[in-house]
Amino acid sequence: MNVSMIGLGAMGAAMVRNLLGKGVTVTVWNRSRAMVDELAAEGAIPAADVDEALKADIVLSMLAHDQAMREVLVDSGALARAPKGVVHVNLATISTALAGELAALHAELGLGYVASPVFGRPPVAQAGGLNVLAAGAPDAVATAMPVLKMLAAKVWPLGEDPVRASALKLAGNFMIVSAIESMGEAVALGEAYGVPAPELLDMLSSTLFAAPIYKIYGGMIAERRYTPPGFAAELGLKDVRLVLDAAEAKGLSMPLADLAEASLEVLLDGEDQGLDLAALAEIARGRVDGR
């Protein structure tokens, strides 16, 4: 099985390490070279350019946003030059609009396309414990499935329309942001009455909200531990804006998403950059307690 990965940020690199650890030969390409060299030292095969990376049976991509996807694969003409029959598996969070465009473009070019956005942070990705969505033509999904299963604790099939996977991923990320916002506000209320954040969040995330998102992000908020980022706040803002775009396309109003966008803009306008999405709680704390 010939596999490649395009895009070697924290998540992409973690997935490559997982596959290498399972004996898969992985060709890697990234717009900046440092991570390509680092993974090559660990056994990956460096691609000279994106066209070389596309000469694989299964091409995984984990590019940061719509613009990167367009620049690297679409506007560059790379997809148009890819060998017919290649199956491209997009693991990143992109807009519902671009998901539809990519599905149509791949079909036109004779390429397979599977929308497989993932839930999980880099350590989970390296351990092969992600929750992986999968939507696309049945034959393309079947080709990608052995690799997806290596990446995943569970693969969630979503039918043939890649837009559905993109919409579910955006909905999930919106719920993560909303959970962080609510924890930030709850912490501010507790602190105002003398209940320390660690005490409040430990109790609630062990009982009423005993779920991974509350435990993981609750621990970070309690400790005010926001670096290094596992899910960067700037990517969280990108995703919230994609949520709002998707909602607008269907005539929906999402007031919590509006609030999250405004709060993340405040966070990212400050001096602190390179923060995890969990730092959103600090804006909520400040807004509630008046600091």
Give the residue numbers annotated as catalytic, written as ranges: 169
Query: Given the structure tokens 């209940």, which residue do they identify?
Result: 195
Q: Residue 153: enclosing H or E segment and its boundaries?
A: strand 152-157
276 secondary structure, DSSP code: B
Token pair for residue 41?
């030292």
Amino acid identity, residue 201? L
**Is 56 within 8 Å of 27 (Cβ atoms)?**
yes
Helix 10-21 × helix 138-151 angle, to 10°: 80
Amino acid identity, residue 146? P
Token pair for residue 55?
């000469």
User: How many whole angstroms separate alpha carbon 259 and alpha carbon 117?
Assistant: 25
Rg of the chain on CA atoms, in Å: 20
Count the neighbouring beta carbons within 10 Å of the beta carbon of residue 11. Answer: 24
- Provide the CA 58 distance to its chain's centre, in angstroms: 19
User: How many whole angstroms separate alpha carbon 84 and alpha carbon 54?
Assistant: 10
Query: DSSP letter string over 171-217?
Result: HHHHHHHHHHHHHHHHHHHHHHTT--HHHHHHHHHHTTT-SHHHHHH
